[in-house]
Amino acid sequence: MPSQTIIIDCDPGIDDAVALLLALASPDELDLLAVTAVCGNVSLDLTERNARRVLALAARPEVPVYPGAGRPIMIAHHGATVHGDDGLGGVPLPEPASAPQQRGAVDYLLETLAGRPGEISLCCLGPLSNPGLATVQRPEILRSTRQVVLMGGAAGRGNVTPHAEFNFHVDPHAAQLVLRSGAEVVMLGLDVTRQAPITEARLRQLAAVETAAARAAHDMLAFYGQGDTALHDPCVIAYLLRPQLFSGRRCWVDVETLDEERFGQSRVQPVSPYGQRQANALVIDRVDADGLFELLCERLARLP
């Protein structure tokens, strides 16, 4: 019986795809109920289709994929080039072996989270538009999660502007809604993901794993590493599987949505018992990167 029940909200995207493979390779620990797709790295029609291609690669076409927000809540969408035009670096993953769900991701999240209070860990790998929209409809809904574990933000430098990380920059209003939702938030920002660079040695480690999934992950990360050398999204899944690889501290986190220069910046302040502000997130700031890559290679070896 898997110890954790999860939903993965993502914008595949190469590192999202590798994170999905890591989760799909761990069925004894993670019961993946569904994938919800969001516009982010590339458009929603691509992120949704790419999620179904990854499921086909892992021979798990039964996992439903629900299409979500086709744009950020308040502002126009700006994608990323680092994942290539198709969002997967042009690596020839299989065609989808399943159809997309007709139902929207937000409706699915609202019903599923409300129906299983305290059970589900919502893993967010892209802009937070889907959970953000869910809180617009039902402000308390994210308190029904066991936790929201998200890749996003940065206490230090950003990667889209000097101040803002991509997922928070694409939809800062959604990020603010999630951080203010009252949910148990675990934030894995650039401060920790940048400690896991995709080095040549680690690519060679991956190349030695003789499964189609590992080969695809290697080829996608080799493409991705030309532009952004950090293994961002898989950190979220690795945190669920091996929390001992990570450490962090409770902080107060909010997102800049007014100042033009700092738009999308996450403001992170450690809190003390005597501080003015209550912590609203566990901000992860350390990872054992070698342990992370060993886990990734070991799990990709289990896939077809």
Q: How far is the CB of 152 from Ca ion (least distance, A)?
A: 9
Nearest in space to 123 (alpha carbons), one of 266, 6, 243: 6
Decide which of ligand RIB, Ca ion, none touches 285; Cβ closer than 5 to 8 Å per partner kind.
none
Binding mask 42-81 for Ca ion (x = CB under 5 A): ----------------------------------------
Identified catalytic residue from 83, 163, 218, 232? 232
Q: Which amino acid is at 208?
A: A
Residue 192 tokens, joined: 């920790």
Neighbour tally for 206: CB within 10 Å: 20
Binding to ligand RIB, residues 31-90 (CB under 6 A): 40-41
Binding of residue 16 to ligand RIB (CB under 6 A): yes
3-state SS assignment for residue 16: helix
CB of 28 to ligand RIB, least distance (A): 26
Eight-class DSSP state of 286: E
Residue 123, helix vs strand vs coil:
strand
Q: Which of residues 121-160 bind ligand RIB (CB under 6 A)?
A: 125-126, 151, 159
* Cβ 141 to ligand RIB shortest distance, Å: 22
Q: Is 15 near ligand RIB (CB under 6 A)?
A: yes
Beta strands in 146-292 (DSSP E): 147-151, 185-188, 246-255, 266-270, 281-287
Structure tokens at 258: 């007014």
Least distance in Å: CB of 12 to ligand RIB? 8
In this structure, what are the phi and psi dihedrals at residue 244, rounded to the nearest 5 degrees? Answer: -70, -10
Whether 232 is catalytic: yes
| Closest of 155, 139, 173, 169 to residue 281, by C-alpha | 155
Tell me the catalytic residues: 232
Binding site for ligand RIB (CB under 6 A): 11, 13, 15-16, 40-41, 125-126, 151, 159, 165-167, 232-233
Binding region for Ca ion (CB under 5 A): 11, 13, 16, 125-126, 233
